[in-house]
Amino acid sequence: MNTASRADSAPIVSVRDLRVTFNGGKKPVSAVNGVDLSVARGETVALIGESGSGKSVTLRSLLRLHPERRTRIEGRIEVAGEDVLALGSRALADYRGRVASMIFQEPLLALDPVYTVGQQIVESIRRHERISPAEARKRALELFERVRIPSPERRLDAYPHEMSGGMRQRAMIALALACRPQVLLADEPTTALDATVQIQILLLLRELQRELGLAIVFVTHDMGAAVEVADRFAVMYAGRIVEEGPTREVIRNPRHPYTLALMQARADGAMEKGARLASIPGAPPDLAQLPTGCAFAERCTFVQPACLQSRPEAVELGGGHRARCLRTDATAQAVAQSARATANTSILLTETA
Amino acid sequence: MNTTASLPLPQPRTKVEAIERSPGFWSGVLAKLMRDPVALGAGAVLLALIVMAIFANQLLPADPYATSMFKRLKPIGFEGYPLGADELGRDMLSRLMLGTRLSLFMGITPVLIAFVIGSAIGILAGYAGGLVNTLIMRTIDILYAFPSVLLAIALSGALGAGIGNALLSLTIVFIPQIARVAESVTTQVRGRDYVEAARASGAGPFTIVRVHVLGNVLGPIFVFATSLIAVSMILASGLSFLGLGVRPPEPEWGLMLNTLRTAIYSQPLVAALPGVMIFITSISFNLLSDSLRSAMDVKS
């Protein structure tokens, strides 16, 4: 996966200083606080982070799916040359599904139970293109073949509940690809599936991405899944991207203590019985009251007084790898020292290869 | 890309046929109802009643309006009067058969009208949410606060007796009930992932309401409305009983029950007959709506 050359061309997704604030509750909640992200054509970027880190909010902002009245979105989002935040409702509807479309976490909930999957794909195609139902159905059949659904003709007439979990997610992917989008947004596409099916779906996504030249933004909290498909990693914490870089580079040389901690918290296959799972002490900060300094400071093992003063700026580490941390050197040292961390890394790397 | 190109694709023509052959939602529901003995029984009874209502003129064994002073309050099985005669000596069987017409009409029409209006109001409130929802639903709540029998009587009383006014008042009674169900189901559906997925694929609010909201909401509302038909029949009978609905000498079960109540001691079986008809009809509607509920649940 040589992506350095592809990443040089103009990005298809370009997010600048994105801030998303929800005003629904008592206090405004800053879910995303200045995210910069660019994704090149044919590139897969994984947004990684724990619950509430703003990864899904960032993803949904790309389609402007948040309730308009209660959400304030600031910054700039450009997808395939369209200024997403400036689109009118008509243009937005045209943009959704045709330029960028989305795969949801739980396909059983994201597919309408009262229509067959075929009907839903036909409906989606005909929403954007003036073609006959028969024509649209032919396209749906091709999509089903493309996402490797066995006996596709029969499956088109199946209701979502009549399919297995993996099959439903394939159907969901077919639905998302119905109008030939250039950008595919995947919100934890494998979380609801069991482990063997997860791999199949991930491989399918990677294959589709290569064949169709899709740009994929992939949200997950599962590093193992992310390593399978992503060209680039973007680790999020408290609404910011704290570390970003090519997958191998981030896995091999994490420079943000949060990334390191996440990797150490992974449970690998060969854990000894009775061994405790590593975890990150503390809890993520309250998004309604973010600290002035680094948001991770209070859970960080390398914290210094300077960390509490102001939010750290991104430190360039070369090769597109950057981390928002004052103590990248300390993390680097810890990586070098920790035998356990290297063991994890080598396992991850063999998985990548 | 090469992999799909090399796959043998069936000819487009077979696919066009496949669309026509693909089983629809309603044919599936019908198939399930056909396998349900309770639904079949209730359906058969209702079908018989409807046939009786439509072809009453051809089927009547005697003139339901012909009175006879000598044959007043005859028991069931009296010669020439299979189900007896009422307080004016009219043939009960004929009157019950002809009564089907008005009773079914009074049962179904208000529910049908209320179904259309109430669903529209409820879906609008549920989908719009926020202030619109509050305004509509609190207004509905005011009407809903009255017990339905009381409201029907009060409205009919205020509007004056007559079939038209009885229909109107029953419709007004059912609109809030249906609107509430429609609103709650729509609110649920609106928050579902598939609605967001539809938005994410570029569906506008109109498409979402037409396809996803209506598709998921009409079933439950329809089932609820079916169960209201029995209530409507009983309320209509009640209005007629009070002299606010159908006027004599038109045969209607509620009205017949009213006029025959004076004979409850002399001919209790004959006096109970209109009540039996109301019971049979309403329980058939209830059983059918229950079966419909389970048949329309796609997941079963």
**Residue B201 to residue A179, Cβ atoms within 8 A:** yes
Does a structural domain hold residue A337? yes
Q: Which two tokens stand for residue B191?
A: 């928050």
Does a structural domain hold residue A244? no
Instruction: For residue A162, count CB atoms less than 10 angstroms from its CB and return exposed for 0-12, middle for 13-18, buried for 19 or more.
Output: middle
**Residue B196 to residue A157, Cβ atoms within 8 A:** no
Does a structural domain hold residue A335? yes
Q: Which of A65, A112, A179 sits opposite B194 (nearest CB)?
A: A112
Assess A189–B contact: CB distance below 8 Å, yes or no: no
| Structure confidence at residue A351 (pLDDT) | 55
A180, A205, A240 - which closes a domain? A180
Listing DSSP states for A166-200 in one string gives HHHHHHHHHHHTTT--SEEEEESTTTTS-HHHHHH
- Which band of pLDDT confidence, cut at 50, 70 and 90, is reported for residue A210? confident
| Structure confidence at residue A217 (pLDDT) | 92
Query: 10 Å Cβ neighbour count for B109?
Result: 17
ipTM, interface predicted TM-score of the complex: 0.77
A127, A158, A180 - which closes a domain? A180
Assess A74–B contact: CB distance below 8 Å, yes or no: no
Choose among B93, B69, B67, B99: nearest CA to B80: B93
Number of folded domains that form chain A: 2
Q: Which pTM was predicted?
A: 0.75
Does a structural domain hold residue A100? no
A180, A214, A234 - which closes a domain? A180
Say if residue B1's pLDDT is above 60.
no
Chain A partners within 8 Å of B202 (Cβ): 93-98, 124, 127-128, 179
Does a structural domain hold residue A150? yes
Tell me how far CA of residue B276 lies from CA of B11, B254, B256, B279, in angstroms. Answer: 60, 11, 12, 5
Assess B139–A contact: CB distance below 8 Å, yes or no: no
Q: Which CATH superfamily is B76-296 part of?
A: MetI-like (1.10.3720.10)
Q: Distance from B56 to chain A by nearest Cα, in Å?
A: 40
| Structure confidence at residue B114 (pLDDT) | 95
Q: Which range is most confident: A138-142, A265-269, A324-328, B290-294?
A: A138-142
Q: CB neighbours of A252 closer than 8 A, spacing ≥ 6?
A: A345, A349
Does a structural domain hold residue A325? yes
CB contacts under 8 A, A 143-172 vs B, are 145-146, 153, 156-157, 159, 161
pLDDT cut 90: percent of chain A above it: 14
| Structure confidence at residue A297 (pLDDT) | 83
3-class state of residue B87 by DSSP: coil
What is the chain A residue with the closest CA to B13? A134
Instruction: For residue B296, count CB atoms less than 10 angstroms from its CB and return exposed for 0-12, middle for 13-18, buried for 19 or more.
Output: buried
- Which band of pLDDT confidence, cut at 50, 70 and 90, is reported for residue B214? confident
Task: Say which residue, A273 or A159, is predicted with more confidence.
Answer: A159
What is the chain B residue with the closest CA to A90? B204
The domain limits of chain B are 76-296
What would you measure as the largest C-alpha separation in chain A, in angstroms? 67
What is the chain B residue with the closest CA to A146? B4
Does a structural domain hold residue A293? yes
Instruction: For residue A8, count CB atoms less than 10 angstroms from its CB and return exposed for 0-12, middle for 13-18, buried for 19 or more.
Output: exposed
B117, containing H or E segment: helix B92-128
Query: 10 Å Cβ neighbour count for A343?
Result: 12
Which domain does A311 fall in, by range? Answer: 252-270+278-352
Instruction: Characterize the bridge pairing of strands A232-237 and A215-220.
Output: unpaired
Give the number of A-B residue pairs with CB atoms closer than 8 Å.
Answer: 105
